Amino acid sequence: MEIKKIAVLGAGLMGHGITQVAATAGFEVNMRDIEERFLSSGMEKIKWSLGKFAQKGRISEEDSKKALERIKTTVSLEEATKDVDFVIEAIPENLKLKQQVFKEIDGYAPSHAILATNTSALPITEIAVATNRPEKVVGMHFFSPPQMMRLCEVIRGDKTSDETLNTTIELGKKFGKEVVLCKKDIPGFIANRITTAGSNLVAWMVYNGEYTVEEVDAAAIHKAGMPMGMFGLMDFVGIDVGGSVAKFMDERWPGYDMCPLLKEKIEKGELGVKTGKGFYTYPERRWVPLDLPLEKAEKFDAMTSNYVNVNVAAELLREDVATAEDIDKSIKLGFNAPIGILELADTIGIDVVVSKLKEFEKKYGPFYKPSPLLEEMVKKGELGSKTGKGFYKY
């Protein structure tokens, strides 16, 4: 199906970024929000961003001008969607709100139009039931900021058709994105499902008094090459953002058990850089690089979260949710990681990962039981690079 005109619902951080991406790629775009002030703010940010791109030579001044000319704004949902081929919803992560919007746009958009939701975790299938075209509803998860990040997850709902899926994948590629396919509608999809599990365990370790925030971040910075640390990164992104994903996972993923550490911070309004305090303090509400001494890094195993993340990734592979290549691409491009999670597992050694997971299972419960796929690989001697075969061949 040929896509010529697109509606983007929302002019916030994700909405205006997606609008910019679509317009730069040559599509006519209707950007819609509920108030003119949000649209004005979104357009100002698009102009600034395109100006920066032109200044750095990423696009020409002429292309920047043409991209702006392709964007129309409106507060009317009907006006935004009545004559488009593709809708990308980028409103707040609230299931009931998304269902209401999808019910409305189903009545306005042409019958051939595909309706996509830019959600990081919410179920595509439950959003689709609000429409009379569930086969034309799909997940299209961009990473923040969309105009900079190369990854786009496309997620299949229970009733999403092959045509809808293929059209969405091709559109993502026309946007200049590296597209990964999540074949099943599971909580967190690929990237967020993998990373939230390990982060949650580390949060529990801190909450239980096994390690301090500084010990974890010092190890992450000095041993694992994470420039912001784990908790520093949460402060930078916003503890409420990570907390909303964790809360959703807690509700939908048996055994996940969200750590109270994040809940307590959110209840206190200590959300990180934007509030001046999170796990660290920011007097000027600006990110300040963490200055943690090397000796603080000695106690905590910086690979802890990765052992758990490997386990989740192995289950995604075993259950045919995604390919090994897409799993690794999602981690590298979604989180600017130098190596994919399955590539990392092959480097560590599958036997080492399984041994650590068994320790976690014994201490923290059955959620951390090693994936049958990992157990089978150990039995076969497929331990990674050291044996010539793991998730990949060497």
pLDDT for res 241: 83
- pTM of the predicted model as reported, rounded to 2 decimal places: 0.93
**How many domains, in total, are found in the chain?**
3
Position 390 in a domain: no
Which residue's structure tokens are 């043409």?
66
User: Could you give the CA distance from residue 28 to residue 126 in angstroms, rounded to a whole number?
Assistant: 29
Does 163 share its domain with 96?
A: yes
Q: Indicate the residue type of 149.
A: M
Where are any strands of DSSP class E within 39-167? 71-74, 86-89, 114-117, 137-142, 151-155
Does 104 share its domain with 165?
A: yes
Options 16, 112, 141, 222, the catalytic residue: 141
Q: Are 187 and 213 in contact (CB under 8 A)?
A: no
Strand order in the sheet with 71-74: 71-74, 28-32, 5-9, 86-89, 114-117, 137-142, 151-155, 178-182
Does 155 share its domain with 22?
A: yes
pLDDT for res 61: 95
Which residue range(s) make up the domain with 274? Answer: 191-297
Does 248 share its domain with 338?
A: no
Does 222 share its domain with 286?
A: yes
User: Domain end: 182, 215, 243, which one?
Assistant: 182
Does 147 share its domain with 275?
A: no
pLDDT for res 314: 98
pLDDT for res 227: 86
Does 159 share its domain with 37?
A: yes
Does 128 share its domain with 37?
A: yes
User: Domain end: 272, 297, 322, which one?
Assistant: 297
Position 232 in a domain: yes
Position 73 in a domain: yes
Q: Are 230 and 217 in contact (CB under 8 A)?
A: yes
For 240, the 3-state DSSP assignment is helix
CATH number at residue 241: 1.10.1040.10
CATH number at residue 114: 3.40.50.720
Q: Are 142 and 14 in contact (CB under 8 A)?
A: yes
Does 42 share its domain with 131?
A: yes
Clarify whether 141 is annotated catalytic. Answer: yes
User: Domain end: 279, 297, 315, which one?
Assistant: 297
Does 248 share its domain with 313?
A: no
**How many Å is the Cα radius of gyration of the chain?**
22
Position 388 in a domain: no
pLDDT for res 176: 97
Does 172 share its domain with 27?
A: yes
Position 70 in a domain: yes
Sign of CA dihedral 315, 240, 290, 207: negative
Position 391 in a domain: no
Position 85 in a domain: yes
Does 166 share its domain with 214?
A: no
Q: Divide the 394 residues of the chain into consecutive groups of 10 and give the mean pLDDT of each group.
A: 96 96 98 98 97 95 97 98 98 93 98 96 96 98 94 98 98 98 96 94 97 97 90 92 88 94 96 96 94 95 96 98 98 90 98 98 97 98 98 97
Position 386 in a domain: no
